[in-house]
Structure 1
Amino acid sequence: MEFKQSLAQRIIIAFAVMSALVAGAFGVGIVSTVHLVEERLISSVLGGDLQRLLRMDSVSDWSHRPRPDQLFYFSGGRDDFELPKDLRHLEAGFHEVFRDQLSYHAMVEVVDGRHYVLLQDQSDFEERERVLFAVVLVGFVLSLALAVVLGWLLARRVMAPVIRLARQVRHRDQLLGLAPPLAPDYAADEVGQLAVAFDDTLGRLRDALNRERLFTSDVSHELRTPLMVLATSCELLMVNPGLDTRARNQVERIARATEEMRELVKTFLMLARAQHDESAIASRATVREVADDLIGVWRDTIEQKGLTLYYDGRVSASPVQYNATFLQSVMGNLLRNAAHYTDSGYIRLSLNPEGFSVEDSGVGIPEEQREAMFRPFVRGDERRGEGLGLGLSLVQRICDDQGWHVKLTATLPHGCCFQVDLSGLRGGSTVEIQVESALPPGEQP
């Protein structure tokens, strides 16, 4: 059973339930005991009074009369003492009877076949019972209220170290190497054990994070030199007049791949940083500037594949400047993904005031894979041998880091459209799946 209440609320509820059970059992016990004792006492008193009446010298000339709150009847009695029909069925012993909307305690004796019945009005007894019930009920309510108050006070006291530990874990930067341990602040109880467990877990996370940072830094450092050699070699080859057209195209492809590799290394290095002070480590650019550069990079590759590249930059794009490396990586991966999965038709890059969109007429994304496309190592078409399925995962990571929003729209009859909202008003990156009709591939907007 899953509880939705907080731990403090559960403590208060436990106190209230325990108090209700104890007070309820105690109240029921008091009422039952008092009722039984009074019944025994009344039975004893009535029995004594009845025996006193039976010891009269003569039935016709009584020396003793019943008390004013009592009624006496017997078989063969005259006038007011005649045994009524509604009492003749009573057997010997103590009874409770109701006559004329009144309740009585009755004591019956059978002597030589004659029934003697003594009735006593129990209005006073019922009044005492009502008072007793009221007192027990008030006591039950007060004990319940007191249990809730005590439960609240004790819950605050019991939960204080847990709340303090939660605040320390939440507000302290425990992943920093110089972060103080949590366990010394707590006693050697369950909360202290929890603090020790937090210290152990956070220690392992710090070690893993440090290894990741060192790995990323080492990889980026080691790759810069060979990438710089490749870039320099491509520049030297490009100025060689002896290169034919085919060789020059291959050198240009190597140069583009080298530049993409440098940007990718830079992107991973920035994502691995703990701080987000990007002003000192990243260049800034508008959406139009990044789009113009990428169109120049990808146009030849896309058109050599027989596809038509549409660039819709007439709509005024946002003048806001963004992290150029991240924005270039997101837009470049979406263009690369579109080029990889489109064999015929078109690819369209459109700018808008909120961001941009990349649309294609490719093979599309199977419906059962759409929600998983932004996970690592998930590919739209496994039959295509190239790629590891990390491009869209990188897009997702960058959008999560920057607070951007990605919407995947499946177009009919095939193809897809990725819309990226850079306004940051949605509070993070999510994936929305929609289906809409695509423009004819040959129609340029």
Structure 2
Amino acid sequence: MSHQLRRHFILQALGVAVLLVAGTFLGSKAISEYLLRDRIRTEVNQLWALIERNPKAPLPKALNYEAYFVPAGAQPDQVPAELRVMSDGFHRLSTAGWLEADKVVYVGDRAEGKIYVVTARSTIDRVVIGITLLSGLVSLIAVWSMIAFTNRRLRRLMTPLAEFSHAVDSWDPERGDVAQLKYAGRGVSKIREVEQLRTAVVEMAGRMNNFVERERNFTRDASHELRTPLTVVRMAHDMLTLETGLSPRGTRALNRIDQVTKEIEGLVESLLVLARHPNVDIEVDEFYALPIVEEAIARIQSHSDNPALDIHLDAHANPLIEAPPRMLAVVLNELLENALSFTEQGSITVVLRENSLDVIDTGIGMSADTLARVFDPFFREDISRQNAKGLGLNVVRRLVERIGWTLRLRSRLSEGTVATLNFRRRQEDT
């Protein structure tokens, strides 16, 4: 930024210098023209006085002018031809432009006759050029002095801001150290605006550090405090499964506890993945997708008591994928819950391929406007029909993007919806 300002000032200063030189040149030219004509008038008056005393006396000549007198009634044979056709007044004896005129001609007419005075401009032009060069030199010296002063002043003003900008650019929010922001550039002259900016940035950095610290504390505490009771429930479940003589109702209850525990573990893991900073790597594992898909379909079939609805799997592959544990189950359960909530009859089909998974339902579908907003937070087109208590499509899409997958919906009103989940497959060496 300092280079841009310096260049801007230099261009302005050069523009001022050019205007000064041009103005001085034109002004000197106008003044020289006025002085030249005034001198010619003086010479002419002296010549007329000589003619009145002795019309036949030769006119005096000087180094830079010459004069001709033609008595009344005589022929102007001694007058150059280009002067004879000139009328009374001042003329320029050159076909070039006004600035390049070589001579000035004055023609005067009285009763005694006609007088022609030709004056060379060379001396006047040399004076004008000298004045212009001198003024231009003085202007350039003044301009460059102003540039040097402005440059030094600008450097003093820009140094604190440049050092503070460099400190902000090299500051790492992950380290949480704001000392370099507090003291960068303070050894130079202080500028009120820079100090205000520094205070605002340091306060923002402090709030950011507090936010990052709270995030870390939350993920650490949540990971421990939420997983500990789930581990206790899981151990209690495993111990109860070893008991003999359980009634069918108790067995069903244990199965339900096992299922809900897995769901809660998946939800906790998913929320913790979303809570972590995007730059923090997430833990992934390798697993085959088919067993998880079969378990999710079995779960959703147990939830459905609608005989008019067929839920089945169409597996074309059993891909080996990489993702956090239980992540595929969480996403698939949410997609199946949504499909179940909006499909009263027909079918829900899960199609598993090598690189993708489709959840196809023949439910009520969505209009184009609803489909455009379906991933908005807290959006519900028909809340009376929304009985699912899962994460919601907005959170599911964020979760999918966080682990490197993509989720796309296609739907038509009264025809059904297709949810396509594209996941990364581990590229095995061949």
Give the alignment's TM-score, normalised by structure 2. Answer: 0.70
Q: For the pair shown, which has the larger CA radius of gyration, 1 or 2?
A: 2
Distance 1:111 1:405, change over 3 A: farther
Mapped contact 2:168–2:181 kept (Cα < 8 A): no
State whether structure 2 residue 66 is matched by structure 1 residue 62: no
CA distance in structure 1 between the aligned counterparts of 2:91 and 2:244, rounded to whole angstroms: 121
User: Displacement, 1:413?
Assistant: 6.1
Offset from partner CA, 1:68-119 (integer Å, 9 cap, x none): 766767895741549755534x4xxxx5647655745455667679875644
CA distance in structure 2 between the aligned counterparts of 1:210 and 1:310, rounded to whole angstroms: 46
CA distance in structure 1 between the aligned counterparts of 2:305 and 2:285, rounded to whole angstroms: 30
CA distance in structure 1 between the aligned counterparts of 2:117 and 2:235, rounded to whole angstroms: 124
Mapped contact 1:373–1:379 kept (Cα < 8 A): yes
Structure 2 unaligned segments of length 5 or more: list them. 426-430
Offset from partner CA, 1:193-250 (integer Å, 9 cap, x none): 4333222112112223333444455455444465456667777599875446xx9778
State whether structure 2 residue 8 is matched by structure 1 residue 14: yes
Offset from partner CA, 1:388-423 (integer Å, 9 cap, x none): 795222223324433433334345764333334434
Distance 1:283 1:106, change over 3 A: same
Distance 1:310 1:385, change over 3 A: closer
Offset from partner CA, 1:233-283 (integer Å, 9 cap, x none): 777599875446xx977875564333212211122223333473544xx54
Mapped contact 2:410–2:418 kept (Cα < 8 A): yes
SS of residue in 2 equivalent to 1:321: strand
SS of residue in 1 equivalent to 2:385: coil
Distance 1:208 1:20, change over 3 A: same
* 1:324 alignment partner in structure 2: 325
* 2:181 alignment partner in structure 1: 182
User: Displacement, 1:373?
Assistant: 3.2
* 1:422 alignment partner in structure 2: 423
Mapped contact 1:283–1:325 kept (Cα < 8 A): no
Offset from partner CA, 1:304-360 (integer Å, 9 cap, x none): 47433353431574x442223434333333333333333333334334444434343
State whether structure 2 residue 51 is matched by structure 1 residue 50: no
Q: Counterparts in 2 of 1:368-383, with a 5 A limit?
A: 368-383=369-384
Distance 1:52 1:208, change over 3 A: same
CA distance in structure 1 between the aligned counterparts of 2:166 and 2:408, rounded to whole angstroms: 40
* 1:276 alignment partner in structure 2: 280
Q: Counterparts in 2 of 1:226-265, with a 5 A limit?
A: 227=230, 236=240, 242-243=247-248, 252=255, 255-265=258-268
* 2:202 alignment partner in structure 1: 199
Mapped contact 1:231–1:259 kept (Cα < 8 A): no
Q: Counterparts in 2 of 1:204-223, with a 5 A limit?
A: 204-219=207-222, 221-223=224-226
Identity percentage over the alignment? 21
* 2:428 alignment partner in structure 1: none
Aligned match of 1:31 in 20, 25, 46?
25
* 1:285 alignment partner in structure 2: 287
CA distance in structure 1 between the aligned counterparts of 2:322 and 2:348, rounded to whole angstroms: 25
User: Displacement, 1:183?
Assistant: 0.7
Structure 1 unaligned segments of length 5 or more: list them. 1-6, 425-445
Mapped contact 1:66–1:72 kept (Cα < 8 A): no
SS of residue in 2 equivalent to 1:378: coil
Distance 1:56 1:219, change over 3 A: same
Give the alignment's TM-score, normalised by structure 1. Answer: 0.68
User: Displacement, 1:33?
Assistant: 3.2
- Residue identity opposite 2:330 in structure 1: S
Mapped contact 2:359–2:419 kept (Cα < 8 A): yes
The total of aligned residue pairs comes to 399
CA distance in structure 2 between the aligned counterparts of 1:364 and 1:75, rounded to whole angstroms: 116
Offset from partner CA, 1:12-61 (integer Å, 9 cap, x none): 56335523542343233332333234334433443344344334344444
* 2:403 alignment partner in structure 1: 402
The Cα RMSD (Å) is 4.8
Mapped contact 2:312–2:348 kept (Cα < 8 A): yes
SS of residue in 2 equivalent to 1:343: coil
CA distance in structure 2 between the aligned counterparts of 1:87 and 1:262, rounded to whole angstroms: 112
SS of residue in 2 equivalent to 1:324: coil
Distance 1:302 1:51, change over 3 A: farther
Distance 1:183 1:177, change over 3 A: closer
Mapped contact 1:286–1:322 kept (Cα < 8 A): no
- Residue identity opposite 2:369 in structure 1: E
Aligned match of 1:308 in 302, 307, 310?
310
- Residue identity opposite 2:48 in structure 1: L
